[in-house]
Amino acid sequence: MLPRMLATLLAFLCLWPGAVAAQEKQEKDAPVGVTHVLGFEAIKRNAKGKLSLQGGMLHFQAGMTQADLPVKSIQDVVTGVDSRRLIGGPVGTMTMLAPYGSGRFLSLFREKIDVLTLAYRDASGGLHGAIFTLPEGKAKAMKEQLVAMGVHSSTPEEPAKAEAGKEKKQ
C-alpha cells in the first residue's frame, strides 16, 4: 500500500509543473476583456470587447464588430497604470464638489486599471494609435507577448523599477 502511495505521489510531483505551465500558457493565450478607448475606426469609442493575439494578428472583438491588426504593422507598444471612478453618473460627478481634503476618502472608490497603447501603420503607411484599458495586471502580459513577436517598445523597463534603480545608485 505504501509503495503504491509513494509512486502516485512521485508521479503527481513529476507531472505538476507541466500542468501548471500548460494552464499559464492557456491563460496567457486567452482573450482579455478590454475597453477600446479610441483608435480603431470601425470600433466605437469606449466599446467593451475581447483582445487576443492569434496567428500574427491582434484581434479585437466587440459584439458583432471586429478589427484585426497585423502584429508586424505595430511600431510601438506602451503600457501604463491608471485608475477610474467606480461610481458613475450624477453621483460620480457630484464627488468633484467634495471639500478639499476628502480625496483620500474618495480614492477608496477608484479602481486600478492598466492602459495599453499601440502605435501602428496602416496599409498606406499612415501612422495611427489605439488605446485600450485592461484589468489590473493584464497589460504587461500582452506587452510581453507583443515584444516576443518582434514589436518594439519605447519603454522596455517599468518606470517604477527605473526610478528605484536611480535612487539606489545615488
Side chain identity at 79, as an amino acid letter?
Answer: T
pLDDT at residue 20, rounded to an integer? 43
Classify residue 125 as left (phi > 0), alpha (psi -120 to 50) or beta. Answer: left
pLDDT at residue 127, rounded to an integer? 93
The answer to whether the CB of 8 falls within 8 A of the CB of 1 is no
Domain ranges of the chain: 31-169
Bridging pattern class, strands 127-135 and 57-62: unpaired
Distance between CA atoms of 79 and 143, rounded to whole angstroms? 7
Would you state the cell numbers that stand for residue 65, as one nine-digit string? 464588430
Distance between CA atoms of 95 and 74, rounded to whole angstroms? 39
pLDDT at residue 41, rounded to an integer? 86
pLDDT at residue 9, rounded to an integer? 62
pLDDT at residue 21, rounded to an integer? 44
Topology (CATH) of 31-169: PH-domain like (2.30.29)
pLDDT at residue 26, rounded to an integer? 41
Dihedral sign, CA of 54, 75, 138, 106? negative
Would you state the cell numbers that stand for residue 63, as one nine-digit string? 459584439
- Count CB-CB contacts under 10 A for residue 144: 14
Q: Along the 170 residues of the chain, how does pLDDT read in single tens digits?
A: 556 766 666 666 666 665 444 444 444 567 889 999 998 888 899 999 999 998 899 999 998 999 999 999 999 999 887 665 555 556 555 555 555 555 555 555 556 888 899 999 998 999 999 999 898 889 899 999 999 999 988 876 555 555 555 555 55
Distance (Å) of CA 96 to CA 90, 93, 99 = 10, 6, 9
The answer to whether the CB of 62 falls within 8 A of the CB of 69 is no
- Count CB-CB contacts under 10 A for residue 8: 10
Q: Given strand 47-54, what is the order of strands in its sheet?
A: 65-70, 57-62, 47-54, 32-38, 127-135, 110-121, 74-85
pLDDT at residue 137, rounded to an integer? 87
Global pTM value: 0.64
